[in-house]
Amino acid sequence: MGSEGCSHGGAWTRDTARCLAVAAASWVSLAGVALAGRPLNIDDADPVDAGLFEAEAGAGYFRDSECRHWDLPFGLTYGLIEDVEVGVGFGGQFEKRSEVLGERRGSRHVHENGIGDLTFGAKWRFLSEAEWCPRQALVPSVKFPTADEDEGLGSGETDFDLTWIASKALTDKLGAHVNAGYSFIGQPAGEDVGDIVHYGAALDYQLCAALQWVGEVIAEKELENGGGMAVEYNTGFRYALSGALVLDAAAGSRICGDGTPDFTGTVGLTWAFGFGAEQ
């Protein structure tokens, strides 16, 4: 729900910790760089066709009262065999945040930039769609801590996630997707961070041959420290320039919970290429 970062490597202040809370499970979203259907966080159950590559690139932004964060994500996915894809996600990031220096010492603005964490994942569609049964998939992924922990751009720990996906065509133009997952969060030294449960649902509607509306509601909850539920929405569009190239844009905001941004937005593209790709 946002992006890795908005924390500082030293002792946390309340404002710094809150800024991190906005991005607490963000590596799950970063995994989506390689595995989800832009511009949403919610994924569909359909792997890339065997023998094809799918490249995704974009720019993302979220704003909170103490933090402004920009991402430049890139993902590359390959259809390994029928019903199985593998992918990698990476990128750059920049953020501006406020940090409280201590009691009666005021605050300061901090600017940081650097690379993001490296994410590897796969998608296995184990069940095809039937009249009353959605097609279903499992997505395991792992985040390696390549972002700079000392600059507050990452946790410095390895995280794991497993997500279940169900997708169903409701009509010729309308599709629905549901995700539910569990993130095993690495424990930074001296910090108490709990694992995270995340879930959500999305709809897509084909407005015309080239234009599709998309929307989602996503939620997450930290299982320790008494963390509350964080819920946000995103909505946007996909525009197909060709059978192989799709542009996208989306924006959203919080519904409830402190672990969501005041505003989030993204623009990007998806390009399919390789043997058999329609140009």
Question: Tell me: the pLDDT tens digits for 161-181?
Answer: 999 999 999 999 999 999 999
Judge whether residue 4 has pLDDT over 70: no
Which band of pLDDT confidence, cut at 50, 70 and 90, is reported for residue 10?
A: very low
Instruction: Give the start-to-end residue ranges of the domains of the chain.
Output: 14-274
Q: Mean of the per-residue pLDDT values for the chain?
A: 84
Please tell me the distance from the alpha carbon of residue 162 to that of residue 197, in angstroms, as a whole number.
10
Number of Cβ within 10 Å of residue 194's Cβ equals 16
* Predicted local distance difference test score (pLDDT) of residue 147: 84
Backbone angles phi and psi of 103, in degrees to 5: -60, 125
**For 129-164, what is each residue's pLDDT tens digit?**
998 999 999 999 999 999 888 777 778 899 999 999
Are 6 and 24 in contact by the 8 Å Cβ rule? The answer is no
Which band of pLDDT confidence, cut at 50, 70 and 90, is reported for residue 102?
A: low
The domain made up of 14-274 is a member of CATH 3.40.50.880: no
Please tell me the distance from the alpha carbon of residue 32 to that of residue 105, in angstroms, as a whole number.
40
**For 205-259, what is each residue's pLDDT tens digit?**
999 999 999 999 999 998 877 678 899 999 999 999 999 999 999 999 999 987 6
Please tell me the distance from the alpha carbon of residue 251 to that of residue 41, in angstroms, as a whole number.
12
